[in-house]
Amino acid sequence: MKSWAVGTRLPLLPRLLLVLGAAEWALGAQRRYTPDWPSLDSRPLPDWFDKAKFGVFVHWGVFSVPAWGSEWFWWHWKGEGLPQYRRFMSDNYPPGFSYADFGPLFTARFFDPEDWADLFQAAGAKYKPDLIWSDGDWESPDTYWNSTDFLSWLYNDSPVKDEVVVNDRWGFNCSCHHGGYYNCADKFQPSSLPNHKWEMCTSIDKRSWGYRRTMSISDVASESEIISELVQTVSLGGNYLLNIGPTKDGLIVPIFQERLLAVGKWLSISGEAIYASKPWRVQLEKNESVWYTSKASAVYAIFLNWPENGVLSLKSPKTTSATQVTMLGIQKDLKWSTNPPGGLLIYLPQVPPSALPVEFAWTIKMVGVE
């Protein structure tokens, strides 16, 4: 004779019904967003976005065929009728040539998505994003674009509803006010820590988002400029989105590859202070090129200029009996002492520049500080 403890087993069908019932209850209990900004703006931002910190942006299209002026080629030529664009067309294309005639010349002959993905990964970008980067919204309000209805569907019923992230460009009344994270404006740089997740989008070519055949080296952001912007952006709680413009053939020109790989090389050493970091209680040392980030019990000080005397003075950290100081990329602890006016003095490694882990934007890691 078998005996059964009460509740230890159930026949298969009742068990399945219980599972299905629990699933239906969970779906019913899941919050649904209504097509209005108070509801949509209350949606928590999926945390993968804040952890990623760095991404790569691409402007690629028919404007990559003339590859002159900027990605606004058609508007400058036909919309505004700028004389330099008319002259460019008359000098280089037959009479009657239209913008649509560029289409067949947009061959993408050498486009290799795997090569692009490998490059972006080597650059340190956290590439499988579920993200909609809306743009071109400035002509009309969100009601014209039907933005709130689209976003409520996206958040409630789309296949990516739990992971998708959106920006704030959903109508001319939305930027820096509604949506997911805030762009506010191209190349937006706040002067202090915002109270909302934000992103700086910028381009390696300072004069265009699309590829230009006439780009000169002075138009290209340097490695140090790019990394400095990345550091400042993350310190102020933002993400950094760096743009390149491929050619009509689908190639990423060497100067863009070089800049992306330089970012990746720096992140391979300093990424601990960037990825999944949070703003510290102080973001910037006043009158010093030192930016702070934090993660768990660690505080990171990223300094953009190497002090001439080899001693880094930090005013903001408060030392304790447990304070330890290291430099990312160098194994042994660094010597330090308290600074009489407050803060601490860090004695940097006495090594030749070639022996340092990175060429610029060096990172000090501190534990046991307040």
pLDDT tens across 94-121, in order?
999 999 999 999 999 999 999 999 999 9
pTM to 2 decimal places? 0.91
Residue-level pLDDT at 3: 34
Phi-psi region of 70 (alpha: psi -120 to 50; beta: other; left: phi over 0): beta
User: What is the model's pLDDT at position 159?
Assistant: 96
Does residue 227 have a pLDDT over 50? yes
Would you say residue 27 has pLDDT above 50? no
Sheet of 290-295: strand order equals 290-295, 298-303, 362-369, 319-327
For the stretch 336-360, pLDDT in tens is 999 888 889 999 999 998 899 999 9
Alpha-carbon distance values, 37 to 87, 142, 150 (Å): 46, 10, 12
DSSP 220: B
- Could you tell me the CA-to-CA distances from 95 to 65, 89, 92, 101, 166 in Å, in that order? 17, 8, 10, 12, 43
- Give the β-pairing of 238-244 and 198-203: parallel
Strands 131-132 and 165-166: parallel
pLDDT classification of 30: cutoffs 50, 70, 90? confident
Report the C-alpha gap between 116 and 122 in whole angstroms: 10
- In this structure, what DSSP letter does residue 182 have? B
User: What mean pLDDT comes out for the span 51-67?
Assistant: 97
- The chain-wide mean pLDDT, for the chain, equals 92
pLDDT, tens digit, 9 for 90 and up, residues 150-170: 999 999 999 999 999 999 999
Residue range 27-39: mean pLDDT, rounded: 84
Looking at residue 16, its pLDDT comes to 40
